[in-house]
Amino acid sequence: MIKLGVNIDHIATFRQARGEGVPSIIEAALVCEKAGADGITVHLREDRRHIQDYDVYSLREVLKTKLNLEMAATEEILSVALDAKPDSVCMVPEKREELTTEGGLDVKNNKKNISSIASKLKKAGIAVSIFVNADLEQVAACSEVGADAVELHTGKYSLLFRESGASSSECKDELKRIAEASKEASKRKLILNAGHGLDYENVGQICKIRGMNEFNIGFSIISKAIFNGLQKAVFDMKSLIEKNS
Ligand code: PXP
Protein backbone atom coordinates (compact mmCIF):
# COMPACT_ATOMS: atom_id res chain seq x y z
CA MET A 1 0.00 0.00 0.00
CA ILE A 2 1.18 3.52 -0.79
CA LYS A 3 2.21 5.41 2.34
CA LEU A 4 1.06 8.89 3.34
CA GLY A 5 3.41 11.52 4.70
CA VAL A 6 1.50 14.53 5.97
CA ASN A 7 3.15 17.90 5.46
CA ILE A 8 2.30 20.13 8.43
CA ASP A 9 4.08 23.33 7.32
CA HIS A 10 0.69 24.99 6.89
CA ILE A 11 -0.08 24.61 10.59
CA ALA A 12 3.20 26.38 11.33
CA THR A 13 2.31 29.17 8.89
CA PHE A 14 -0.87 29.72 10.89
CA ARG A 15 1.03 29.64 14.20
CA GLN A 16 3.62 32.15 12.99
CA ALA A 17 0.87 34.58 11.94
CA ARG A 18 -0.01 35.14 15.62
CA GLY A 19 3.35 34.31 17.13
CA GLU A 20 1.93 32.80 20.31
CA GLY A 21 2.89 29.15 19.95
CA VAL A 22 -0.53 27.85 18.94
CA PRO A 23 -1.68 25.80 17.14
CA SER A 24 0.93 23.30 18.27
CA ILE A 25 2.96 21.53 15.62
CA ILE A 26 3.50 18.62 17.96
CA GLU A 27 -0.21 18.21 18.65
CA ALA A 28 -0.89 18.39 14.91
CA ALA A 29 1.72 15.73 14.18
CA LEU A 30 0.36 13.41 16.85
CA VAL A 31 -3.20 13.78 15.50
CA CYS A 32 -1.92 12.92 12.00
CA GLU A 33 -0.15 9.83 13.35
CA LYS A 34 -3.26 8.77 15.26
CA ALA A 35 -5.28 9.10 12.05
CA GLY A 36 -2.93 6.74 10.21
CA ALA A 37 -0.25 8.96 8.70
CA ASP A 38 2.86 6.95 7.94
CA GLY A 39 5.12 9.92 8.48
CA ILE A 40 5.33 13.66 9.05
CA THR A 41 7.00 16.03 6.63
CA VAL A 42 8.23 19.54 7.38
CA HIS A 43 10.16 22.01 5.28
CA LEU A 44 12.75 24.02 7.19
CA ARG A 45 13.01 27.00 4.84
CA GLU A 46 16.05 29.25 4.84
CA ASP A 47 13.87 32.24 5.81
CA ARG A 48 12.19 30.19 8.62
CA ARG A 49 8.81 31.50 7.50
CA HIS A 50 6.89 28.60 9.05
CA ILE A 51 8.78 25.63 10.55
CA GLN A 52 11.48 26.64 13.06
CA ASP A 53 14.60 24.71 14.03
CA TYR A 54 13.07 23.76 17.41
CA ASP A 55 10.09 22.17 15.62
CA VAL A 56 12.42 19.76 13.85
CA TYR A 57 14.14 18.76 17.12
CA SER A 58 10.83 18.39 19.02
CA LEU A 59 9.25 16.32 16.27
CA ARG A 60 12.31 14.08 16.20
CA GLU A 61 11.70 13.32 19.88
CA VAL A 62 7.96 12.63 19.83
CA LEU A 63 7.16 10.99 16.49
CA LYS A 64 6.42 7.29 16.47
CA THR A 65 6.41 7.17 12.68
CA LYS A 66 8.97 8.86 10.43
CA LEU A 67 10.24 12.39 10.15
CA ASN A 68 10.97 13.61 6.65
CA LEU A 69 12.75 16.95 6.40
CA GLU A 70 12.51 18.98 3.22
CA MET A 71 15.45 21.31 2.75
CA ALA A 72 17.36 23.41 0.28
CA ALA A 73 20.73 21.98 -0.73
CA THR A 74 22.72 24.41 1.42
CA GLU A 75 25.35 23.93 4.13
CA GLU A 76 23.38 25.95 6.70
CA ILE A 77 20.29 23.73 6.60
CA LEU A 78 22.45 20.63 6.17
CA SER A 79 24.02 21.31 9.57
CA VAL A 80 20.56 21.32 11.22
CA ALA A 81 19.68 18.07 9.43
CA LEU A 82 22.89 16.37 10.53
CA ASP A 83 22.24 17.45 14.11
CA ALA A 84 18.49 16.68 14.29
CA LYS A 85 18.79 13.41 12.32
CA PRO A 86 15.40 13.04 10.60
CA ASP A 87 14.73 9.61 9.07
CA SER A 88 14.93 11.11 5.62
CA VAL A 89 15.70 14.36 3.89
CA CYS A 90 14.14 15.53 0.65
CA MET A 91 16.26 18.12 -1.13
CA VAL A 92 14.13 20.79 -2.77
CA PRO A 93 14.86 24.00 -4.68
CA GLU A 94 14.11 27.15 -2.77
CA LYS A 95 13.54 30.76 -3.75
CA ARG A 96 12.78 33.29 -1.05
CA GLU A 97 10.04 35.03 -3.01
CA GLU A 98 8.02 31.91 -3.91
CA LEU A 99 4.77 31.04 -2.10
CA THR A 100 5.52 27.33 -2.27
CA THR A 101 8.11 25.04 -3.88
CA GLU A 102 7.56 25.90 -7.52
CA GLY A 103 9.59 23.38 -9.47
CA GLY A 104 11.85 20.39 -9.07
CA LEU A 105 15.53 20.61 -8.21
CA ASP A 106 17.89 20.86 -11.18
CA VAL A 107 20.04 17.90 -10.22
CA LYS A 108 21.48 17.46 -13.70
CA ASN A 109 23.30 20.81 -13.56
CA ASN A 110 24.24 20.77 -9.87
CA LYS A 111 25.58 17.27 -9.41
CA LYS A 112 28.70 18.24 -7.49
CA ASN A 113 26.95 20.18 -4.70
CA ILE A 114 24.03 17.78 -4.46
CA SER A 115 26.16 14.64 -4.35
CA SER A 116 28.36 16.17 -1.65
CA ILE A 117 25.30 16.96 0.52
CA ALA A 118 23.77 13.54 -0.23
CA SER A 119 26.90 11.71 0.85
CA LYS A 120 27.12 13.65 4.16
CA LEU A 121 23.48 12.83 4.90
CA LYS A 122 23.90 9.17 4.01
CA LYS A 123 27.01 8.91 6.17
CA ALA A 124 24.85 10.13 9.08
CA GLY A 125 22.31 7.38 8.37
CA ILE A 126 19.70 9.72 6.84
CA ALA A 127 17.92 8.49 3.71
CA VAL A 128 18.16 10.91 0.80
CA SER A 129 15.33 11.84 -1.52
CA ILE A 130 15.30 14.56 -4.19
CA PHE A 131 12.28 16.51 -5.43
CA VAL A 132 12.38 16.62 -9.23
CA ASN A 133 10.09 17.32 -12.15
CA ALA A 134 8.84 14.33 -14.11
CA ASP A 135 11.88 14.39 -16.38
CA LEU A 136 13.88 11.29 -17.30
CA GLU A 137 17.25 13.08 -17.24
CA GLN A 138 16.59 14.56 -13.79
CA VAL A 139 15.58 11.14 -12.44
CA ALA A 140 18.76 9.63 -13.91
CA ALA A 141 20.81 12.41 -12.31
CA CYS A 142 19.26 11.58 -8.90
CA SER A 143 20.60 8.08 -9.23
CA GLU A 144 24.03 9.39 -10.27
CA VAL A 145 24.34 11.63 -7.17
CA GLY A 146 23.57 8.69 -4.89
CA ALA A 147 19.97 9.43 -3.86
CA ASP A 148 17.94 6.63 -2.31
CA ALA A 149 14.63 8.06 -3.55
CA VAL A 150 13.00 10.58 -5.85
CA GLU A 151 9.90 12.57 -5.14
CA LEU A 152 8.20 13.42 -8.40
CA HIS A 153 6.65 16.88 -8.56
CA THR A 154 2.91 16.52 -9.17
CA GLY A 155 2.21 20.28 -9.04
CA LYS A 156 1.78 20.72 -12.79
CA TYR A 157 -0.51 17.69 -13.01
CA SER A 158 -2.62 19.00 -10.11
CA LEU A 159 -2.97 22.42 -11.70
CA LEU A 160 -3.95 20.95 -15.09
CA PHE A 161 -6.42 18.60 -13.38
CA ARG A 162 -8.13 21.58 -11.75
CA GLU A 163 -7.94 24.05 -14.62
CA SER A 164 -8.31 21.88 -17.73
CA GLY A 165 -9.92 18.73 -16.28
CA ALA A 166 -8.75 15.17 -15.86
CA SER A 167 -9.74 14.23 -19.39
CA SER A 168 -7.92 17.14 -21.07
CA SER A 169 -5.00 16.19 -23.29
CA GLU A 170 -2.63 18.44 -21.28
CA CYS A 171 -3.49 16.69 -18.04
CA LYS A 172 -3.23 13.23 -19.63
CA ASP A 173 0.16 14.14 -21.14
CA GLU A 174 1.51 15.26 -17.77
CA LEU A 175 0.22 12.08 -16.14
CA LYS A 176 2.02 10.12 -18.86
CA ARG A 177 5.23 12.05 -18.12
CA ILE A 178 4.91 11.17 -14.43
CA ALA A 179 4.36 7.50 -15.33
CA GLU A 180 7.45 7.50 -17.60
CA ALA A 181 9.59 9.18 -14.93
CA SER A 182 8.31 6.62 -12.43
CA LYS A 183 9.40 3.79 -14.72
CA GLU A 184 12.86 5.36 -14.98
CA ALA A 185 13.06 5.64 -11.18
CA SER A 186 12.13 1.98 -10.74
CA LYS A 187 14.61 0.95 -13.43
CA ARG A 188 17.32 2.79 -11.49
CA LYS A 189 16.21 1.17 -8.22
CA LEU A 190 15.18 4.48 -6.70
CA ILE A 191 12.38 4.56 -4.14
CA LEU A 192 9.47 6.36 -5.80
CA ASN A 193 7.57 9.10 -4.01
CA ALA A 194 5.35 11.91 -5.27
CA GLY A 195 3.85 15.10 -3.99
CA HIS A 196 2.69 18.67 -4.39
CA GLY A 197 -0.86 19.76 -5.03
CA LEU A 198 -2.32 16.30 -4.49
CA ASP A 199 -5.90 16.46 -3.24
CA TYR A 200 -9.01 14.36 -2.69
CA GLU A 201 -9.94 14.49 -6.39
CA ASN A 202 -6.65 14.12 -8.19
CA VAL A 203 -4.81 11.58 -6.02
CA GLY A 204 -6.64 8.53 -7.49
CA GLN A 205 -4.87 8.63 -10.84
CA ILE A 206 -1.44 8.98 -9.23
CA CYS A 207 -2.21 5.97 -7.02
CA LYS A 208 -2.52 3.87 -10.18
CA ILE A 209 1.06 4.53 -11.28
CA ARG A 210 3.12 1.42 -10.61
CA GLY A 211 5.78 1.40 -7.97
CA MET A 212 4.64 4.39 -5.88
CA ASN A 213 5.95 4.15 -2.33
CA GLU A 214 4.75 7.33 -0.64
CA PHE A 215 2.89 10.60 -1.19
CA ASN A 216 3.62 13.78 0.70
CA ILE A 217 0.45 15.81 1.01
CA GLY A 218 -0.16 18.99 2.98
CA PHE A 219 -2.34 21.80 1.73
CA SER A 220 -5.45 19.83 0.77
CA ILE A 221 -5.46 17.91 4.06
CA ILE A 222 -5.07 21.01 6.21
CA SER A 223 -7.71 22.84 4.13
CA LYS A 224 -10.16 19.98 4.60
CA ALA A 225 -9.38 19.88 8.32
CA ILE A 226 -10.61 23.46 8.72
CA PHE A 227 -14.09 22.55 7.53
CA ASN A 228 -14.15 19.18 9.22
CA GLY A 229 -13.44 20.94 12.50
CA LEU A 230 -15.03 24.40 12.26
CA GLN A 231 -18.57 23.33 13.13
CA LYS A 232 -17.49 21.57 16.32
CA ALA A 233 -15.16 24.43 17.28
CA VAL A 234 -18.01 26.98 17.06
CA PHE A 235 -20.44 24.62 18.82
CA ASP A 236 -18.01 24.05 21.72
CA MET A 237 -17.41 27.79 22.22
CA LYS A 238 -21.15 28.55 22.02
CA SER A 239 -21.87 25.83 24.61
CA LEU A 240 -19.19 27.18 26.93
CA ILE A 241 -20.55 30.73 26.72
CA GLU A 242 -24.11 29.49 27.33
CA LYS A 243 -23.00 27.47 30.33
CA ASN A 244 -21.24 30.43 31.89
CA SER A 245 -23.73 33.21 31.05
N1 PXP B 1 6.47 17.63 -1.45
C2 PXP B 1 7.32 18.70 -1.54
C3 PXP B 1 8.73 18.44 -1.92
C4 PXP B 1 6.87 20.00 -1.23
O5 PXP B 1 7.72 21.04 -1.33
C6 PXP B 1 5.53 20.17 -0.83
C7 PXP B 1 5.04 21.53 -0.47
O8 PXP B 1 5.64 21.98 0.70
C9 PXP B 1 4.70 19.03 -0.74
C10 PXP B 1 5.19 17.78 -1.07
C11 PXP B 1 3.28 19.12 -0.31
O12 PXP B 1 2.55 19.91 -1.22
P13 PXP B 1 1.06 20.32 -0.85
O14 PXP B 1 1.12 21.19 0.37
O15 PXP B 1 0.62 21.07 -2.08
O16 PXP B 1 0.28 19.06 -0.63
How many angstroms is it from 131 CA to the middle of ligand 1?
10
Cβ atoms within 10 Å, residue 44: 23
Ligand 1 centroid to Cα of residue 93, in Å, is 12
Domains in the chain: ranges and CATH: 3-244 (3.20.20.70)
Residue 18: pLDDT over 80:
yes
Q: What are the φ and ψ backbone dihedral angles of 244, each rounded to 5 degrees?
A: -100, 5
Percent of the chain topping pLDDT 70: 98
- The 10s digit of each residue's pLDDT in 113-125 is 999 999 999 999 9
- Residue 91 Cβ contacting ligand 1 at under 6 Å: no
What crossing angle do the helices spanning 25-34 and 9-18 adopt, rounded to 10°?
150
pLDDT, tens only, 176-204 = 999 999 999 999 999 999 999 999 999 99
- Return d(Cα 55, Cα 137) in angstroms, integer: 35
Under 8 Å between Cβ of 38 and 213: no
Range in 98-107, 114-123, 140-149, 198-207 the model is least confident about: 98-107
| Per-residue pLDDT band at 43 (split at 50, 70, 90) | very high
Q: Which one is catalytic: 70, 94, 151, 184?
A: 70
pLDDT of residue 95: 77
Q: Rounded to two decimals, what is the model's pTM? A: 0.96
